[in-house]
Amino acid sequence: MNPARGSLLDIEHLEAGEILRILKFARRMNPDKPRPLLKGKRLMLLFYEASTRTRSSFEIAAKSLGAHTVLIQSIGSSIEKGESLLDTGYTVRAVGADVIVIRHPNAGAAQVMAQHIDLPVINAGDGLHEHPSQALLDAYTILRNRKSFKGLQVAIVGDIFHSRVARSACHLLSKFGVKIILCGPPELAPEIATTLAPGVRVTRHIEDALRGTDVIMLLRVQTERLAGLKIDLTEYIARYQMNPTRLKMAEPDAIVMHPGPIIRGLELTSEVADGVQARILEEVHNGVPTRMAILARAVGKMR
């Protein structure tokens, strides 16, 4: 079965024109001015992994469009009892779901759901694969701070290897000709990442990544994810942590982004996290209108 219209499974296969349409519609969305575009619809949030920002903003977005939301987490549901992904899908459909939002530790989970359950499915992060709504809200945030993508250079610093956010961002930005520089030690920013999308380059040197950069996207460096990799965190901090001195190497008006959760003292210092160039909370804020647009699109109301 083909995924239902309105599904959002990845950025890789989404056309540039459709991305711009979503971003344009998101500009018209405001959670403080509710619009009943999803009135009476039931949104199932299937979360097989922890989440704060993504889950709460999908929930707020859905409610401000008039939808009912039901949250199903792996703990406390039949998922815990060993029910399969598809059986959970058939169940939520049988209880009357209209849209499914799913976060899952396995790459391809959203795709599998969409191929078997005849409902629009929105991928809220699948393993190491993609996180399309995050890429859209990041793009929205960039365009709130810059006139267009034209001539932009974006540096992505940190654990790129384990980041679905980085993968989706590369796909999205490369569709608009943005220069993308991935930066980190070889274990976290492998050379093969250049094959992700056109216009992607890898460097080991933070100065090289920051020179001429307009947007610095930092990524989480989570110790649990580093098991088996030879990463010395003290060395990581010495070479890559974003601090005020390094920030000055980028364009004077460069903005600092991070999908969260941030780890102060590791990926960035508090001066940078709380500084005037940081857009980290703005990203969280922009997650709501962006997801309102994604949900309106899911039910065919993005007009």
- Contact letters for ligand NCD, residues 218-237 (x by CB under 6 A): --x-----------------
Residues 232-271 that bind ligand NCD (CB under 6 A): 259-260
Quote the least distance from Cβ 73 to ligand NCD, whole Å. Answer: 15
Q: Which residue is nearest to ligand NCD (CB)?
A: 220
Task: Return the number of the residue (123 or 301) whose C-beta is nearest ligand NCD.
Answer: 123
Q: For the chain, how many residues are written?
A: 303
Quote the least distance from Cβ 284 to ligand NCD, whole Å. Answer: 8
Interface with ligand NCD (CB under 6 A), residue total: 11
Measure CA of the first residue to CA of the last residue in the chain; give whole Å.
26
- Contact letters for ligand NCD, residues 103-142 (x by CB under 6 A): ----------------------x-----x--x--------
* Crossing angle of the two packed helices 280-298 and 132-145, in degrees rounded to 10: 120
- Contact letters for ligand NCD, residues 157-186 (x by CB under 6 A): ------xxx---------------------
Structural tokens at position 270: 């508090």
Quote the least distance from Cβ 158 to ligand NCD, whole Å. Answer: 9
Distance CA 30, CA 123 (A): 22
Task: Look up tokens 């959002």; give the residue.
Answer: 8
* Crossing angle of the two packed helices 16-27 and 132-145, in degrees rounded to 10: 70
Applying CB under 6 A, the residues found at the interface with ligand NCD are: 53-54, 125, 131, 134, 163-165, 220, 259-260
